[in-house]
Structure 1
């Protein structure tokens, strides 16, 4: 029987080969050593938000700089590089706006809760 261009007997043969390979003597399964997880460092919300906003700002500054260089005829900046940087900055900004909208919505939901 053919399934999506692959004969089911081929699939069965492959499974049999895998099982035979796994059952070969002398092969031992890998040992995974687990160590106690170290406590994750605490990250303050304000610090995380500031670093995210700094990243968005940096991408916008880079896009603006590349746009100015391209407009002035600088050969080190190609049109495609400038457009990619501009689109990245735009996507970063739109994502920031969406996060802001969610935070404002959550704030309003919390403020309207009955206590």
Structure 2
């Protein structure tokens, strides 16, 4: 039985050991603008859900032709989205306070 040496093995592994290059094409200012726009859009969606719920509730109170279950669904969607937004805000404030307490 003839076993050949592993002289070419290092050449095979070197081609697979190249590190991937990470290029960041956005500046911190652009990232901040993107984050701000996403945050603004999210708050606008919550506001729209609240307004829709209020309109449907007013229609129901005036006796207009509105399904009660549609009003309740809109109301619950608005309530849940507002609660989720408040929880996210609380977590962000908590994280900010934690960062501010760090000693440098």
Regarding TM over 0.5, the answer is yes
Pairwise CA distance, 1:114: 0.8
Q: Do structure 1's residue 85 and structure 2's residue 85 form an aligned pair?
A: no
CA–CA separation in structure 1 for the residues paired with 2:75 and 2:35: 28
Partner of residue 102, structure 2: 113
Spell out structure 1 runs of 4+ moving beyond 4 A: none
- CA deviation string 1:67-102 (max 9, x = no partner): 000110111x11100000000000000000000000
TM-score (norm. length: structure 2): 0.68
| RMSD value, Cα | 1.9
How many pairs does the alignment contain?
Answer: 76
Q: Do structure 1's residue 96 and structure 2's residue 85 form an aligned pair?
A: yes
Partner of residue 21, structure 2: none
Pairwise CA distance, 1:45: 1.1
TM-score (norm. length: structure 1): 0.62
Give ranges in structure 1 of 5+ residues lacking alignment: 1-38
Q: Secondary structure at the match of 1:74?
A: coil
CA–CA separation in structure 2 for the residues paired with 1:47 and 1:109: 25
